[in-house]
Each structure stands twice: as structure tokens, then as C-alpha cells.
Structure 1
Amino acid sequence: MKGFLTIVLLIISNSFMTLAWYGHLKFTEWKWFQKLGLVAIIFISWGIALFEYVFQVPANRLGYSENGGPFSLLQLKVIQEVITLVVFAVFTLIFFKTETFKTNHLISFVFLILAVYFMFKK
């Protein structure tokens, strides 16, 4: 159960992170945001990123083996990176219609899955 909850929290965390890091690139499409300067956009993104930490920190504390969780620190990091890239890919395809998913992207994801496999191999 801790492993599942850790992954769910990491997905939520990475959703906020992706929105904070890349969502502002779509702000120019919204009239109100067009008038904002870079500093304002930074603060808005920073505010969104706060929610990343609200979910990321508990996910890592819950999932870390030395806190009673099922994952080593290295395993947590690899899981987090794979989740980051999957969330980013979904975000990109939904919000940035000009981006396309190509064969080399699929191959990259296969290698990421292999990375997870080898990270958990005894």
C-alpha cells in the first residue's frame, strides 16, 4: 500500500511540477497573462511548484525504505524520473498540439522501463 501511495503522490507532484515548469509557455494564449512580465510569471510558477513539494516530500518520506517504505533511495529516484517523463509526455500531447510523439520517443520510453527493471533487479 505504501508503494502504491508513494507512486500516486509522485504522479500528483510531477503534474504540478510540469505545470510550473512548462505551463507558463501557454500563458501567452490567455489575454490576462500576456501583460505580465517575467518576474510575475516566475512567482506564479513558484506558487504552482509549492504544490509539487506538498506531494513530493510526503511521497519520498513514505516510500523510503529507512522510513518503513518499500523503496531504496535509488529506486525512488528512478521511479520519480520515469513518472516525470511520462507526465511530461502526456502534458505535452494534451496542451502543446504542435508537438508529436515519434518512434524515437517510444524507444526512449522503452529504455526508461528497462532502467526501472534493472534498478529493481536483485
Structure 2
Amino acid sequence: MAVLLRSGDIAILSGASRSSFHGVAKILPSPFEIDDAALAALVQRAASERADAAVEDWAEELKAVAAYLGAHRVNINIRQVYSDQSEATANPNQSGREPEEAPGTHDAVAHKRQKTAAN
């Protein structure tokens, strides 16, 4: 399944989709642009608020960050990991099912193997 993610979009993978192959095949240019006058005004305002000469160096750094983010993506992974099985079963996920991941691991396959071996 193809999904178009635009700048600022969030993709949340849960359940079986977390174990499936997924990735971002192509990064399109970001629609976010800041012109030189707006950037200069931003730096000037920050410099006057902070009374810090180092703020003047921000303009070049902000241009470099904007150029980088225009061609790259930011990937953030957040996972729930339980320290022991009692904590995992005491706090089931919102659907009321047992968590897919074993305590202390991120691998749902390892958890299924552990459950099979225990039976």
C-alpha cells in the first residue's frame, strides 16, 4: 500500500504493521521556505530579546538546517517496553489485548516464541 506523507505528517504503525516491511521510498521537496528578509527579522528579534552577539551566527545555521530538512526526513520511534510480565498484564493496551512485545524486548516474534515455549 502506498501512502503519501507530506511535510509534518505522522505515520503511526501498530499491531502487525509494526513487524511488516515499511519505509519512505522518496523524499519530495518541502513546501516550507523562509525568505532572507523574514530570516533576518527573526534573527534580529532574537538578538534584541537575548542581547547575545552569538545570535547573529544563527542565520547561517538556520539556512543550513532548513536546507537539510528540505531533503531529509526525521524518524522518531516510540515503543512501550515493560520491565516484567506482571506490569505488562496489569497495564494492557487500549484495545484490552495483551501487548505484542515481550517485557524488555522490541521483538514481537521473540514474544510469540516465548509464549509457545511456555505452553
TM-score normalised according to structure 1 size: 0.22
Higher relative contact order (CA 8 A, sep 6+): 1
Q: Which is helix-richer, 1 or 2?
A: 1
TM-score normalised according to structure 2 size: 0.22
Higher gyration radius (CA): 2
